[in-house]
Amino acid sequence: MTDITVPPIDEQKIEEALVAGQRHDAARAREVLDRASEMKGLSSGDVAVLMGLSDPDLLGELFAAARKVKEEIYGRRIVLFAPLYISNMCRNECLYCAFRARNTAVKRRALTQEEIAHETKLLVEQGHKRVLLVAGESYPHEGFSYVIKSIETIYATRSGNGEIRRVNANVAPLTLDEFKELKAARIGTYQLFQETYHRGTYAKVHLGGVKRDYDWRVSAMDRAMEAGIDDVGIGVLFGLCDWRFEILAMMQHIRHLEKRFGVGPHTISVPRLEPAVGSDMASQPPQPVSDIDFRKIVAILRLAVPYTGIIMSTRESANIRRETFALGVSQISGGSRTNPGGYTEGEKEDGGQFCLGDHRPLDEVIRDVASLGYIPSFCTGCYRLGRTGRDFMDLAKPGDIKHHCDPNALSTFVEYLMDYGSPETRAVGEECIAKTLAGMDDKARALSQKMIEKVRSGKRDVFC
Ligand code: SAM
Ligand code: SF4
């Protein structure tokens, strides 16, 4: 095997920090929250203190601090994307997943390039501009080039005024050379979840296939970054192990990437274990995360790594999704299907990866987001202007990224409303746009109005 760099996840240090974090008082918690509002991130010791909070007043202060940091750095935009499952074939045996190799309750299928083009067309016709390509870990006869071809197919598909402008991918860990191919295919973010950073738990839930190798998985982001992919997305599958352990381990992973590459992850995902056909574990998570702890997770991550996007998928219900917008979430999926072919044929129990918590179509999700005062964004500007990796972080850290995000969110939202919005969503959306413009400073308003005007007069894909 080629040499790999395994990020040091020090379990003993994590356990010590967890014990120390329990011995805090209100004064120490408030001191951490004050430091958090400086938006420079937090140490593991600080994070452990926040994880131990249960007093309702202090929890209220934690959520308020997260809200403030979220608005300061990201403004009020929420970026939309859709997953595109190209295959549910898999040779691994992850006990929590419906796609695991020995599960006979799922009908296996790898979409052809024609089918992928058709799924893409349907997503474009809903108004999507960003796709997250997802696959099990077993490709048809052409091997990994199946993924590369699929990315090309997605980028090449057009319908009416629309096209997919950014393809992100969540596929199994790759070799350095494969990551280079992925980069050459114009990947946006490479996303991969460690599932659990706890080695003992990892061994218990991954019973077969290459995925059993913890080190190969935890070292994947190092290889992706070595290959020049500087936007990477990490995550934990919450419910497998103690969430407090996972957060501190994730912090160690992040600090390792920052130290080695000068930049941390572009996004963090917070999937919670959902029921899945043919998986007992998915219905009875070994260490379930309550709704209140889930909100704490989002708020603490927002404060600990303020510059990193937080992704909330349709695994969660509409209510939980709404609540977490304010606490730090910056990207959400909408109108998702987890069965290959799902946009063409509808949701199918015997083909999907897990059960969805939010079944609403994209238009309804957009209307809801706008009615809450957030700007639904289809922006892909940063990636296409090369503002990725360190360049993105240099803008995000001082809170400057929102000067691009807000105008871009507004211009892409207007594009959505004109080309795809229902009359009800258009009405709610126009009100949201007017309010947002009214609340902007003169410079941002002038720039946004100029961009919006271009879209209203027929230009598409307007960004700064
Ligand atoms: N097969 C690749 C892998 O495992 O890395 C990539 C895609 S996998 C389909 C995407 C993610 O779905 C996994 O990393 C896992 O965290 C998540 N997942 C699997 N089963 C799940 C379940 N029952 N509930 C929620 N998320 C689940
Ligand atoms: Fe396969 Fe990924 Fe599901 Fe594991 S999580 S069974 S690797 S698709």
Q: What is the DSSP string of 130-152?
A: EEEEEE-S---TTTTHHHHHHHH
DSSP codes, 236-252: B-BTSS-HHHHHHHHHH
CB 78 within 8 A of CB 376: yes
Same domain, 352 and 427: no
Helices marked H in 262-400 — which ranges? 280-283, 291-304, 318-327, 342-345, 362-371, 381-384, 389-396
- What's the CA-to-centroid distance between 355 and ligand 2, angstroms? 15
Same domain, 344 and 386: no
Does residue 58 belong to any structural domain of this protein? Answer: no
Same domain, 173 and 255: yes
Does residue 76 belong to any structural domain of this protein? Answer: yes
pLDDT of 402 reads 66
Q: Which atom of ligand 1 is nearest to the CA of 88?
A: 9
Per the structure, the complete domain to which residue 387 belongs is given by 382-456
Same domain, 438 and 327: no
Tokens encoding 421: 């919005």
Same domain, 283 and 350: yes
Nearest CA to ligand 2 atom 4: 94
Which residues have CB under 8 Å from 203's CB, separation 6+? 212, 214
- What's the CA-to-centroid distance between 436 and ligand 2, angstroms? 41
Q: What angle do CA 104, 109, 111 make, to 5 degrees?
A: 170
Same domain, 331 and 289: yes
Same domain, 407 and 273: no
Residue whose tokens read 């460690």:
194
Does residue 19 belong to any structural domain of this protein? Answer: no
Tokens encoding 90: 């898999």
99: how many CB neighbours lie within 10 A of its CB?
29
Q: Given ligand 2 and candidates 91, 96, 100, which is best to mutate, with the most ligand atoms within 8 Å of its CB?
A: 100
Q: Which of 338, 356, 374 is the last residue of a domain?
A: 356
- What's the CA-to-centroid distance between 224 and ligand 1, angstroms? 19
Positions in the chain short of pLDDT 50: none
pLDDT of 424 reads 98
Q: How far apart are CA 85 and CA 341, in angstroms?
A: 8
pLDDT of 359 reads 92
Amino acid at 124: V
Whole-angstrom CA distances from 138 to 93, 142, 350 are 12, 10, 18
Tokens encoding 290: 């309550």
Percentages of the chain per state (helix, strand, coil), in multiples of 5: 50, 10, 40
- What's the CA-to-centroid distance between 415 and ligand 1, angstroms? 32
Same domain, 306 and 408: no
Nearest CA to ligand 2 atom 5: 97
Same domain, 124 and 241: yes
Does residue 27 belong to any structural domain of this protein? Answer: no
DSSP strand pairing (158-159 vs 162-163): antiparallel
Nearest CA to ligand 1 atom 1: 136
Q: Which of 307, 322, 356 is the last residue of a domain?
A: 356
Work out the burial of residue 38: count CB atoms within 10 Å of its CB; fewer than 13 is exposed, 13-18 middle, 19 or more buried. exposed
Q: Which atom of ligand 1 is nearest to the CA of 195?
A: 16
Q: What CATH number did the domain enclosing 310 receive?
A: 3.20.20.70
End-to-end CA distance of the chain: 44
DSSP three-state, residue 93: coil
pLDDT of 2 reads 63
Does residue 65 belong to any structural domain of this protein? Answer: no
Q: How far apart are CA 245 and CA 15, in angstroms?
A: 7
pTM exceeding the 0.75 threshold for the entire prediction: yes
CB 223 within 8 A of CB 179: yes
The number of domains in the chain is 2
DSSP three-state, residue 269: strand
pLDDT of 73 reads 84
Reported as half-sphere exposure (CB side, CA atoms, 13 A), residue 72 has a value of 18
Q: How far apart are CA 387 and CA 368, in angstroms?
A: 29
Same domain, 346 and 390: no
Does residue 8 belong to any structural domain of this protein? Answer: no
Same domain, 112 and 201: yes
- φ/ψ bin of 373: left (φ > 0), alpha (ψ from -120 to 50), beta (otherwise): left
- Which residues approach ligand 2 with their CB closer than 6 A? 90, 92, 94, 97, 99-100, 136-137, 211
Whole-angstrom CA distances from 98 to 79, 105, 240, 283, 455 are 28, 8, 16, 11, 43
Does residue 54 belong to any structural domain of this protein? Answer: no
Which ligand ends up closest to the CA of 193? 1
DSSP three-state, residue 117: helix
| Biggest distance spanned by C-alpha atoms of the chain | 61
pLDDT of 400 reads 67
Same domain, 141 and 201: yes
pLDDT of 401 reads 65
Q: How far apart are CA 311 and CA 299, in angstroms?
A: 13
Whole-angstrom CA distances from 431 to 424, 426, 445 are 11, 9, 15
**Phi and psi for 333 in degrees, rounded to 5?**
-95, 160
- What's the CA-to-centroid distance between 11 and ligand 1, angstroms? 24
pLDDT of 22 reads 84
Which residues have CB under 8 Å from 459's CB, separation 6+? none
- What's the CA-to-centroid distance between 176 and ligand 2, angstroms? 21
Q: Which atom of ligand 1 is nearest to the CA of 237?
A: 16
Give the gyration radius of the chain's Cα atoms.
Answer: 21
pLDDT, tens only, 356-404: 999 999 999 999 999 999 999 999 987 788 877 777 777 766 666 667 7
pLDDT of 58 reads 96
- Which residues approach ligand 1 with their CB closer than 6 A? 96-97, 134, 136-137, 170-172, 192-193, 195, 237, 271, 273-274, 276, 282, 315, 353-354
Q: How far apart are CA 426 and CA 416, in angstroms?
A: 9
- What's the CA-to-centroid distance between 247 and ligand 1, angstroms? 18
pLDDT of 355 reads 84
Does residue 4 belong to any structural domain of this protein? Answer: no
